[in-house]
Chain A
């Protein structure tokens, strides 16, 4: 039997998931991520909304969910994210979006390897993120359904707020080791049982 030449390895493969009563931190490796640029008023945007099962969110700092999460990145830019077993591989998702757009002018780019995702959850998740983030993370201003590109501990991140004090932190692969180490250090006080 031939050995595989290379096995895909996530940027935080060395990270042991941390789990406490008030806080859990774990990597969600190998999410399918596709960057989408399209005129939000055009026919292509509507068709892409139909194929994704949810219209592209146009309110800044929000996301919409169907099989995939569609995160607002800019007035004409979105990130479509999902587990590979739900939305397919990046190639498949890209092909679906391109097919939906038809002949209209869109930009669809596989960026799955650009960022990895950290799941930070638990009643102390907001407190932990607030250690290094200037955004107001109170549920009143950053509740479920909100997302934001900002800085966390001086690293560029994409924060996504889910139901039940659960956050996904997307971070560039090259910054992931640093950010995970920073998070673990900042989390020390919340992990004491």
Chain B
């Protein structure tokens, strides 16, 4: 089980969290102007790297806040944790 350091509550068991997929997926400026292909790409296409990946997690059994984690998808090592609105190593 992962030990995830919630930026508010400190390290907690993975079972207390909910996974939220890739972080920093930017909402299109003008969604109405997108073609179906582009819209589908925004909705459904996500990176799937082997290595560090910025993703969102929610501490559902604790403070119920969303935050960002940079996790290595190959080793599960957590490189960074930062709150929503804060600058992380990926969106810096």
Contact = CB atoms under 8 A, between A and B. Distances in A.
Contacts of A135: 12
A150 B6 CA distance: 12
Contact of A151 (B8, B10, B16, B63): B16
Interface string B31-66: 000000000000000000000000000000111110
B88 to A, nearest CB: 18
Given A60-B8, A61-B10, A75 B63 contact: yes
Contacts of A60: 8-10, 63
A149 B59 CA distance: 10
B15 interface: yes
A149 B10 contact: no
Nearest to A154: B15
What is the predominant secondary structure among interface residues of chain A facing chain B?
Answer: strand
What is the predominant secondary structure among interface residues of chain B facing chain A?
Answer: loop
Contacts of B77: none
Interface residues of A, number: 13
A125 interface: no
A95 interface: no
Contacts of B8: 60, 74-75
Interface string A59-82: 011000000000001110100000
Contacts of A134: 12-13
Interface of B: 8-10, 12-13, 15-16, 61-65
Interface of A: 60-61, 73-75, 77, 134-135, 148-151, 156
